[in-house]
Each structure stands twice: as structure tokens, then as C-alpha cells.
């Protein structure tokens, strides 16, 4: 690093250079190879655009980490945040309550519909999944079935990075080096061969474990980290029937897909299925604050009154139901409703996925375009090719996400048609530039 104080002839360092150096020296990035190159250091955002420390502006085609669903600087959300901060920023829900948390829980009950009526608030999607595991196991124990502890999930699923939620993932990336791996978790193949075949895999796993030992089945309506793979139509209904038949709780992970992302309030509602527990995060507070939730039925929630140790749910955190976070989430839900963003996401998603499908057809290295709503994935034939396309997009001023061989596109729900077209142009230009690379 050049010291301009000791070398007055050296050019002055920019704020961007300083931040990049501090980033390299001190910041440990999650899920990022150490020394993988210069990171985007962002300093501002407005609408669907973000600005880096060098003053360059990018169209955010990934909504941060799929969570900035209303974009940046939405005035109604900022107003709610400021107002609540001036009134009461927090008050723990342990033996007490706060108004925003009460009203948000009631609003989620309206959106999810009966019988999903009771919500526990958390700080992240991982925490929501962790809470769902504990709720499911404790519920069965309180019903006189303490042996029901096994949790089944899809091998390509992803539900978080806490020790237990990582135990639901089959990938070594989630748990290698963190051993011993937690017991009580079973992964099954996804429904790649159709809903009926996939559901049979669940039934086989339940019978193999012994139905009397299985607590819950966790599933994402769209496999996110697993490659932006929507579950086939009918799969959720099939597994709902199997869970009912064997007394297994169905947990639907809507952390990524919930609150409008797929062109519906919740992706599972497209199938007419009612889970026993639903986890939400990311879009719940649209990235303005860390916030998440797990919502369950009155029957499950009511069982905790019989807990002999407490007479209530023995789980939660200091900031569960944080008043500021709940107020922001309420504002986010109002904006989604008032601005018609669920229908808008459906329309913009058709435009996004339709154009990507048409324009990438036949391009060397492109294997498949898939997705639903404003959640699209482009699968390439190699990891380097997918990464090259993402890099090319960044050079063109569009940020997308590359993970393995899949490049994902998930702009904010407020994205315009013109911005969708710009994202498509960048992806297609990147794919053409990468077409000369070797594949698998």
C-alpha cells in the first residue's frame, strides 16, 4: 500500500482504494473464497440501482442476496423505520410485547390464511429454520411422541447455516470441518422425475426410518441454492398427503420465495397446499433490517401450553419480534399491496424468463433457463463459464449471482420493464462472450 504522507509524489488514494484495502485486510466474507479478487464495496443505493465506492452505478439484478425486494431507499419504508425508531426501537417479547410485533403477526395470519395463525419472529432465515426444527420436535414430544425427532429434507435443498440447519443439507460445503455432523437428519432425492416419483422417495424414507420416529419434512417450493429449480406442479400436494398419512409435519421454507418473489404472496399457495409451518425471511423486511419468521398452526402453537417446564415455547432470542424490524416489515407488506407488486412480479417474471429462454436458445454452453416470477436461473455447462458470464454482466453494469454452474437473476419486485430488458441484454452479451470457453 502506498503511503502518500511519506511519498508526496505518489497520487492520492481514493476512498474506493482505501475501502478495498481495508476490506482485504479485515473483512471475513461469508461463502466467498479468501483472496478471490476485488469485491464490490457498495456505498449507496436508490431504486433498483446501487453505487460502489468508485462512483460506478450498477443495476442490481440479484436484490442484494434476494432480499432487497423493494430496492433501495423506498420512502414509505424509510418513514416507518424512522418513526418507529423515535417511538420504541425494541422491547423483548419474553413476558411482554410490542405493538408492531402484534400487528405484524396478525397481518401474516391474514396473508397465510387458516390454519396458519401463530408466528414466532427471528433474525434470519437460518434462525427461522432452526426454530421450525425445535418447534416440530417439541410439539411431538408434548403430544406424547418424544421419539419423533427425525427431520427429512431434499438433498439439493438449503435451509441455513446453523449447525442443525446445515444438517439438513447433503452438500459437504454446509458441514465439512464443523463436525460431528448432527444426527437425526435424512436427505432424499428431489422430484426431478416428476411429482409422483419424488413423493415416493419421501414415503420410502419415512417407512425406512419408521413413521413413529419422523418429526417433519422440510422443503423449498423453489430450490434456491440447489439451482433455482421450481418443484414440479403437484409435488407439494403429494407430499402433503404423505405427511398427513404418517403424522409428519410439513414445513415449507419460503425464506427466498415468500412475499411476492414468485408472483404470488407465497409460492405454496399456487398449489393450494396448507403447510404446518412456514418460514419467511429475506423479503419480509426487504433487506432494510435483519428479520425473519416461522408461522405455524393454532394446533401446534397451542400444544406448548402443556409444556411441563414452562407452559410455553422454550425458544427465542432477545431480538425476536424486534419492534423496529416488525414496523419495517409491516411497511414492506403495505407497499407490496398498495403498489400491486405481486402481480407486477408475475408480469415482469414472464418477461424476464421468456426473453432469456428465447435469446439464449442455442447459445454454446447454455443448458437450461428456468424459474418462476422474478426468480430465474440460467444453467451453464461449467462453473468457469457461469462465472465468466457474471463477470461480463458486472462489466456491463448489471450485478447477477453465480453459484456453481447456475447464474441466478432476481431483481427487486419494483423492477421496470426497461430494466428487465437491460438485465437480459447483459446476460445474453455475457453468454455470447463466454461461448468460446471450454465446457465440461
In this structure, is residue 10 part of a structural domain? no
Say if residue 309 is in the same domain as residue 382: no
Q: Which helix (H) or strand (E) holds 37?
A: none
Say if residue 381 is in the same domain as residue 370: yes
| Residue 252: predicted pLDDT | 98
Output the CA–CA distances (angstroms, integers) from residue 308 to 3, 96, 118, 148, in the order listed: 65, 21, 21, 18
| Residue 15: predicted pLDDT | 86
**CATH code where residue 383 lies:** 3.90.1150.10
Output the CA–CA distances (angstroms, integers) from residue 245 to 211, 230, 274, 371, in the order listed: 9, 25, 15, 31
Mean pLDDT for the stretch of residues 261-279: 97
Last residue within a domain, chosen from 295, 322, 338 = 338
Say if residue 308 is in the same domain as residue 260: yes
Per residue in 65-107, pLDDT (tens digit) is 999 999 999 999 999 999 999 999 999 999 999 999 999 999 9
> Would you place residue 9 in the very low, low, confident or very high pLDDT band (cuts 50, 70, 90)?
low
CA 57 to chain centre: 25
d(CA 374, CA 67): 12
| Residue 387: predicted pLDDT | 94
CA 370 to chain centre: 17
> Would you place residue 37 in the very low, low, confident or very high pLDDT band (cuts 50, 70, 90)?
low
| Residue 7: predicted pLDDT | 46
Lowest mean pLDDT among 80-94, 191-205, 289-303: 191-205
Give the 3-state secondary structure of residue 179: coil
Evaluate whether 66 touches 28 at the Cβ level (below 8 Å): no
| Residue 11: predicted pLDDT | 52
Mean pLDDT for the stretch of residues 200-206: 96
Say if residue 118 is in the same domain as residue 154: yes
Q: How many domains does the chain have?
A: 2
Mean pLDDT for the stretch of residues 283-292: 98
Half-sphere exposure of 107 (CA within 13 A, CB side): 20
d(CA 10, CA 230): 54
Number of helices (H) and strands (E), helices first, in the chain? 13, 17
Q: Which helix (H) or strand (E) holds 119?
A: strand 116-122
Lowest mean pLDDT among 165-179, 335-349, 366-380: 165-179
| Residue 5: predicted pLDDT | 44
Average pLDDT value for the chain: 94
Domain extent, residue 136, equals 75-338
Task: Return phi, psi of residue 378, to 5°.
Answer: -115, 115
In this structure, is residue 1 part of a structural domain? no
Max Cα–Cα distance, the chain, nearest Å: 78
Amino acid at each position: 500500500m502506498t503511503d502518500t504522507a511519506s511519498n508526496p509524489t505518489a497520487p492520492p488514494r481514493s476512498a474506493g482504494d482505501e475501502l478495498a484495502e481495508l476490506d482485504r485486510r479485515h473483512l471475513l466474507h461469508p461463502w466467498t473464497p479468501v483472496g478471490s479478487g476485488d469485491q464490490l464495496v457498495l456505498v449507496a443505493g436508490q431504486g433498483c440501482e446501487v453505487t460502489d465506492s468508485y462512483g460506478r452505478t450498477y443495476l442490481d439484478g440479484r436484490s442484494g442476496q434476494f432480499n432487497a425486494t423493494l430496492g433501495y431507499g423506498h420512502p414509505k419504508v424509510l418513514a416507518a423505520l424512522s418513526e418507529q425508531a423515535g417511538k420504541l426501537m425494541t422491547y423483548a417479547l419474553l413476558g411482554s410485547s410490542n405493538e408492531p410485533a402484534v400487528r405484524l403477526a396478525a397481518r401474516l395470519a391474514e396473508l397465510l390464511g387458516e390454519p396458519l395463525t401463530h408466528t414466532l419472529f427471528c433474525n434470519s432465515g437460518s434462525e427461522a429454520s432452526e426454530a421450525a426444527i425445535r418447534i416440530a420436535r417439541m410439539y411431538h414430544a408434548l403430544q406424547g411422541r418424544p421419539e419423533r425427532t427425525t427431520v427429512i429434507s431434499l438433498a439439493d435443498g438449503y435451509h441455513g447455516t446453523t449447525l442443525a440447519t446445515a444438517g439438513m443439507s447433503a452438500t459437504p460445503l454446509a458441514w465439512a470441518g464443523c463436525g460431528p455432523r448432527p444426527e437425526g437428519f435424512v436427505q432424499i432425492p428431489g422430484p426431478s422425475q416428476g411429482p409422483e416419483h419424488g413423493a415416493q422417495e419421501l414415503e420410502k424414507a419415512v417407512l425406512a426410518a419408521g413413521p413413529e420416529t419422523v418429526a417433519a419434512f422440510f422443503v423449498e417450493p423453489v430450490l434456491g441454492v440447489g439451482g433455482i429449480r421450481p418443484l414440479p406442479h403437484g409435488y407439494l400436494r403429494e407430499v402433503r398427503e404423505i405427511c398427513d398419512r404418517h403424522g409428519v409435519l410439513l414445513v415449507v421454507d419460503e425464506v427466498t420465495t415468500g412475499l411476492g418473489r414468485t408472483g404470488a404472496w407465497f409460492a405454496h399457495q399456487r398449489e393450494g397446499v396448507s403447510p404446518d409451518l412456514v418460514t419467511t425471511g429475506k423479503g419480509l423486511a426487504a433487506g432494510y433490517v435483519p428479520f425473519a419468521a416461522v408461522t405455524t398452526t393454532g394446533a401446534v402453537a397451542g400444544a406448548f401450553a402443556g409444556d411441563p417446564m414452562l407452559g410455553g415455547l422454550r425458544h427465542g432470542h432477545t431480538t425476536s419480534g424486534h419492534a423496529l424490524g416488525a414496523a419495517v416489515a409491516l411497511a414492506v407488506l403495505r407497499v407490496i399491496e398498495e403498489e400491486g407488486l405481486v402481480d407486477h412480479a408475475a408480469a415482469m417474471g414472464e418477461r424476464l424468463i421468456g426473453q432469456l429462454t428465447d435469446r439464449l436458445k442455442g447459445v454454446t454452453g447454455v443448458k437450461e433457463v428456468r424459474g418462476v416470477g422474478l426468480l430465474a436461473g440460467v444453467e451453464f455447462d461449467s462453473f468457469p463459464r457461469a462465472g465468466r458470464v457474471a463477470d461480463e454482466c458486472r462489466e456491463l453494469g448489471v450485478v447477477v449471482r453465480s453459484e456453481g454452474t447456475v447464474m441466478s437473476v432476481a431483481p427487486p419486485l419494483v423492477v421496470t420493464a426497461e430494466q428487465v430488458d437491460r438485465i437480459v441484454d447483459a446476460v445474453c452479451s455475457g453468454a455470447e462472450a463466454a461461448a468460446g470457453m471450454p465446457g465440461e
